[in-house]
Protein backbone atom coordinates (compact mmCIF):
# COMPACT_ATOMS: atom_id res chain seq x y z
CA UNK A 1 0.00 0.00 0.00
CA UNK A 2 1.14 3.53 -0.72
CA UNK A 3 -0.57 6.86 -0.30
CA UNK A 4 -1.64 8.45 -3.60
CA UNK A 5 -3.43 11.60 -2.44
CA UNK A 6 -5.86 12.90 0.14
CA UNK A 7 -9.60 13.33 0.18
CA UNK A 8 -10.15 16.00 2.83
CA UNK A 9 -8.62 17.60 5.88
CA UNK A 10 -10.16 18.82 9.13
CA UNK A 11 -9.82 22.20 10.80
CA UNK A 12 -10.78 22.64 14.42
CA UNK A 13 -12.43 26.04 14.76
CA UNK A 14 -13.89 28.24 17.49
CA UNK A 15 -16.96 29.12 15.39
CA UNK A 16 -18.19 27.24 12.35
CA UNK A 17 -20.33 30.20 11.30
CA UNK A 18 -17.39 32.64 11.41
CA UNK A 19 -15.13 30.18 9.58
CA UNK A 20 -17.72 29.50 6.88
CA UNK A 21 -18.25 33.24 6.36
CA UNK A 22 -14.50 33.82 5.93
CA UNK A 23 -13.78 30.97 3.51
CA UNK A 24 -16.93 31.49 1.42
CA UNK A 25 -16.81 35.29 1.22
CA UNK A 26 -13.06 35.95 1.10
CA UNK A 27 -11.89 32.82 -0.74
CA UNK A 28 -14.93 31.71 -2.75
CA UNK A 29 -15.43 28.24 -1.25
CA UNK A 30 -18.86 26.63 -0.93
CA UNK A 31 -20.41 25.62 2.39
CA UNK A 32 -21.84 22.10 2.60
CA UNK A 33 -23.86 20.52 5.40
CA UNK A 34 -23.66 16.72 5.42
CA UNK A 35 -24.52 13.61 7.40
CA UNK A 36 -27.23 12.90 9.96
CA UNK A 37 -25.39 15.02 12.55
CA UNK A 38 -25.42 18.09 10.23
CA UNK A 39 -21.65 18.49 9.97
CA UNK A 40 -20.12 21.38 8.03
CA UNK A 41 -17.52 21.35 5.28
CA UNK A 42 -16.01 23.81 2.83
CA UNK A 43 -15.83 22.64 -0.79
CA UNK A 44 -13.54 23.84 -3.56
CA UNK A 45 -12.98 21.90 -6.77
CA UNK A 46 -12.80 18.17 -5.90
CA UNK A 47 -11.60 18.89 -2.35
CA UNK A 48 -13.11 19.70 1.00
CA UNK A 49 -12.22 20.86 4.48
CA UNK A 50 -14.39 19.40 7.24
CA UNK A 51 -14.97 21.73 10.18
CA UNK A 52 -15.03 20.62 13.80
CA UNK A 53 -16.13 23.17 16.37
CA UNK A 54 -13.79 23.03 19.39
CA UNK A 55 -16.62 22.83 21.93
CA UNK A 56 -18.52 20.12 19.98
CA UNK A 57 -15.96 17.62 18.65
CA UNK A 58 -16.59 14.43 16.68
CA UNK A 59 -14.87 11.10 17.32
CA UNK A 60 -12.46 9.94 16.18
CA UNK A 61 -10.35 13.11 16.14
CA UNK A 62 -6.81 14.36 16.48
CA UNK A 63 -5.17 13.81 19.85
CA UNK A 64 -4.98 17.52 20.75
CA UNK A 65 -7.24 19.48 18.39
CA UNK A 66 -7.33 23.23 18.84
CA UNK A 67 -8.30 26.25 16.79
CA UNK A 68 -5.41 28.05 15.12
CA UNK A 69 -3.04 25.09 14.82
CA UNK A 70 -3.51 24.58 11.06
CA UNK A 71 -1.08 25.51 8.30
CA UNK A 72 -2.47 24.88 4.82
CA UNK A 73 -1.56 25.77 1.25
CA UNK A 74 -4.43 26.31 -1.18
CA UNK A 75 -4.00 26.61 -4.93
CA UNK A 76 -5.85 29.50 -6.54
CA UNK A 77 -7.03 29.77 -10.14
CA UNK A 78 -5.66 33.27 -10.73
CA UNK A 79 -3.14 35.26 -8.73
CA UNK A 80 -3.90 38.56 -10.47
CA UNK A 81 -6.01 40.75 -8.23
CA UNK A 82 -5.57 38.53 -5.18
CA UNK A 83 -4.31 41.37 -2.98
CA UNK A 84 -7.24 43.58 -3.95
CA UNK A 85 -9.71 40.76 -3.22
CA UNK A 86 -8.20 40.17 0.22
CA UNK A 87 -8.19 43.88 1.07
CA UNK A 88 -11.81 44.19 -0.13
CA UNK A 89 -12.72 41.43 2.34
CA UNK A 90 -10.73 43.03 5.20
CA UNK A 91 -8.21 40.17 5.23
CA UNK A 92 -4.75 41.36 6.36
CA UNK A 93 -1.83 40.09 4.29
CA UNK A 94 0.77 38.46 6.51
CA UNK A 95 3.44 37.86 3.84
CA UNK A 96 3.17 39.63 0.47
CA UNK A 97 3.59 37.74 -2.82
CA UNK A 98 6.81 35.75 -2.79
CA UNK A 99 8.36 32.69 -4.42
CA UNK A 100 8.07 29.39 -2.54
CA UNK A 101 8.53 25.71 -3.31
CA UNK A 102 5.48 23.46 -3.51
CA UNK A 103 4.95 19.77 -4.16
CA UNK A 104 5.16 20.30 -7.94
CA UNK A 105 7.74 23.09 -8.20
CA UNK A 106 7.96 26.84 -7.80
CA UNK A 107 4.96 28.65 -6.36
CA UNK A 108 3.97 32.27 -6.16
CA UNK A 109 2.37 32.61 -2.71
CA UNK A 110 0.73 35.09 -0.39
CA UNK A 111 0.07 34.33 3.28
CA UNK A 112 -2.95 35.23 5.40
CA UNK A 113 -4.59 33.99 8.59
CA UNK A 114 -8.16 32.78 8.93
CA UNK A 115 -10.38 33.89 11.86
CA UNK A 116 -8.86 31.22 14.15
CA UNK A 117 -5.28 32.18 13.32
CA UNK A 118 -4.60 29.24 11.01
CA UNK A 119 -1.88 30.05 8.50
CA UNK A 120 -3.30 29.99 4.96
CA UNK A 121 -0.94 30.11 1.98
CA UNK A 122 -2.66 31.04 -1.28
CA UNK A 123 -0.56 29.92 -4.23
CA UNK A 124 -0.29 29.37 -7.94
CA UNK A 125 2.40 27.52 -9.86
CA UNK A 126 4.62 29.67 -12.03
CA UNK A 127 4.42 27.28 -14.97
CA UNK A 128 0.96 25.74 -14.52
CA UNK A 129 -2.54 27.17 -14.11
CA UNK A 130 -5.30 25.22 -12.39
CA UNK A 131 -8.97 25.42 -13.26
CA UNK A 132 -11.27 26.90 -10.61
CA UNK A 133 -13.74 24.02 -10.70
CA UNK A 134 -13.06 20.34 -11.23
CA UNK A 135 -9.33 20.95 -10.99
CA UNK A 136 -8.30 17.67 -12.58
CA UNK A 137 -4.63 18.60 -12.39
CA UNK A 138 -4.63 19.17 -8.64
Q: Which of 32, 63, 84, 121 is catalytic?
A: 121
Reply yes or no on whether 84 is catalytic.
Answer: no
Q: How far is CA 133 from CA 12, 14, 40, 47, 101, in A?
A: 25, 29, 20, 10, 24
Cβ 133 vs Cβ 85: under 8 Å = no
Active site residues: 121
Amino acid sequence: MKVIGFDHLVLTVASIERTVAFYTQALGMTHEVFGPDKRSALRFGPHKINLHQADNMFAPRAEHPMPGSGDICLLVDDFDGIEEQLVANDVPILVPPSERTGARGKLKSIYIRDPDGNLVELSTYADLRFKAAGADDV
